[in-house]
Structure 1
Amino acid sequence: TAGAIDYWGLFSVSSQTGDIWEINKCERIIFPQLQKIQQEIMKKTGATFASEVVQRRGLGCTDE
């Protein structure tokens, strides 16, 4: 139907690591192809998942 909307969630994406979190459930999105892309991003930025602990906590999400 016209105007129908599917809600998939609200996501936070780190431009420094490529880390993706669904922030309503605080679930980290992870799969093999994404991990490869994240490694490339982190090589370019020098960031790590550990360096973003404060940002994750700011979302209300605890460490994995």
Structure 2
Amino acid sequence: TPTAGAIDYWGLFSVSSQTGDIWEINKCERIIFPQLQKIQQEIMKKTGATFASEVVQRRGLGCTDE
């Protein structure tokens, strides 16, 4: 009905503030597309972090490396 709550569940996401890396943690799928990659490069330039430096955190989510 139109008066019902309009909530869609799209997933549970983990976002790194150091790299901009985004993972859907229920499926352990890395979210990646060209525009996001450009933003991630800018974030990593500012933080000095790399995707490799976050291996431990990804494994903490229960996700393997790509």
Q: TM-score range by the shorter chain?
A: over 0.9
Normalising to structure 1: TM-score of the pair?
0.97
Normalising to structure 2: TM-score of the pair?
0.94
Distance 2:4 2:20 in 1: 33
Runs of 4+ in 1 over 6 A off after TM superposition: none
Cα deviation 1:19-62 (Å, max 9, x = unaligned): 00000000000000000000000000000000000000000000
Please report the RMSD computed on the Cα atoms of aligned residues, expressed in angstroms: 0.7
Distance 1:12 1:33 in 2: 18
1:5 Cα deviation after fit: 1.4
Tell me the equivalent position of 1:21: 23
Distance 2:17 2:7 in 1: 27
1:4 Cα deviation after fit: 2.7
1:13 Cα deviation after fit: 0.1
